[in-house]
Amino acid sequence: MKFFKILAASVLTLSLAACGGGGGGASGTGSTTATSGSIGNNNGNGSTGGNTGNVLFVGDYGNHAFAAFTTLTPAAGSSISANVLGTNGLTMWNGLALDAEHDRLYSSAGLQIAVFEHASALNGIITPTRLITPKMDYSSLWDMVLDKVHDRLYVKYNVGLGGAIAVFDNISTLSGTVAPTRRIDRMLGYDYMVDFRRNTLYVLGWSHDQLYTYPNADQINGFLPIVTPVKLAALTNKDVRGLSLDEQHDRLYMGVPGVGIAMLDQASTGASQVNFVSLPNQATHSGVAYDAAHDRLYAGLDNQVYIFNSASSLAPGNSSSATQISAPAGSMITTFAF
């Protein structure tokens, strides 16, 4: 993303404007609750008071960089400043996970997991507090899902022509070359998400219109069993990139370049009816992230980011009350951590 250039102590200003459409609703908790410990729970930091440090990290696949913001809720029509974080030679910020309670950021950095303590104070050219090198065969590291309650990190990695997930227990204490606690092999797709409330692993199939569901996510080790996927007919011939989950409302969000956001309600029940929120874009890459602590959805579509409050009440149709952040053409905003 051009506005996330790797520069020391650079500051940029983003213009935000309201985006029209339908939707709205009451707040709730989902993929992250105080008891479930999944991604997105920042315990309220930065939303209403006091914290002036970094609380929202946005990854740019296009430029292999990321930026940090000191607010979770930029006002429509206003502008905010964000520190562009120089990566000190590390590249490919394809996965981000933030443990806000302990002020610790994890990032997939090529062939290593970079760990940054005091994440809220990161600025300028940054250096990881430590690096973790997985002891296994792989060619790159990608999406991360953090289980805060059990101090466990799920990391997708590429091996050969396929994908798999490495699981690291006690992630907050690891350093150096470390073998994963478990490996989940034979993923039949690229995108995955963990439902901590129901202890379930979701994998979206290669064709993007099949959803595989696996119970006992905290115990899976080795090859995934053969299961019958749910056919998501509305996603046939569509390119789906990025998954996120609202556990409380049992809703799975998916980014769909060129379309907008896909929503699958009652995901754990085998439901197959997919609804869409249309967003103006001609994107080739996308990413979604649901913040359960504030019932907020972030969606990246190339050089556009849409922020939806009251996401659990988001209805099919055009975008509603979305704050839109624009970046120069060529950006690929695909990851968020908060």
pLDDT digits (tens, 9 = 90+) for 91-104: 767 899 999 999 99
Q: What is the pLDDT of residue 20?
A: 30
Give the structural domain span for 165.
2-337
Confidence of residue 282 (pLDDT cuts 50, 70, 90): confident
The residue that leads in pLDDT, 73 or 158, is: 158
The residue that leads in pLDDT, 241 or 61, is: 241
* Domain CATH number, residue 16: 2.120.10.30
Q: What is the pLDDT of residue 205?
A: 94
pLDDT > 90 fraction of the chain, expressed in percent and rounded: 58
Pairing relationship of beta strands 296-301 and 286-291 according to DSSP bridges: antiparallel
Q: What is the pLDDT of residue 29?
A: 27
Distances (CA, A) of 70 to 21, 35, 83: 27, 26, 9
Confidence of residue 45 (pLDDT cuts 50, 70, 90): very low
Lowest-pLDDT range of 70-79, 184-193, 288-297: 70-79
Smallest CA-to-CA distance from 105 within 124, 83, 122, 80 is with 122
Separation between Cα atoms, residue 138 and residue 192, nearest integer Å = 18
Q: What are phi and psi for residue 156, nearest 5 degrees?
A: -80, 140
Separation between Cα atoms, residue 235 and residue 33, nearest integer Å = 29
Work out how many domains the chain is built from and give that number. Answer: 1
Q: What are phi and psi for residue 238, nearest 5 degrees?
A: -110, 150
Lowest-pLDDT range of 7-11, 173-177, 311-315: 7-11
Mean pLDDT, to the nearest integer, of 58-79? 72
Separation between Cα atoms, residue 270 and residue 298, nearest integer Å = 25
The 10s digit of each residue's pLDDT in 147-175 is 999 999 999 999 887 899 999 999 999 99
The residue that leads in pLDDT, 247 or 37, is: 247
Please give the helix or strand (H or E) that residue 260 lies within, else none.
strand 260-265
Maximum distance among all Cα pairs of the chain, rounded to whole angstroms: 50
Q: What is the pLDDT of residue 32?
A: 26
**Under 8 Å between Cβ of 191 and 243:** yes
Number of neighbouring beta carbons within 10 Å of residue 176: 9
Please give the order of strands across the beta sheet that includes 260-265. 243-246, 251-256, 260-265, 274-278, 317-318
Mean pLDDT, to the nearest integer, of 31-49? 33
Confidence of residue 76 (pLDDT cuts 50, 70, 90): low
Q: What is the pLDDT of residue 12?
A: 31
Mean pLDDT, to the nearest integer, of 260-279? 96
Separation between Cα atoms, residue 92 and residue 167, nearest integer Å = 20
Calculate the CA dihedral of residues 140, 143, 147, 153 and round it to 10 degrees: 0
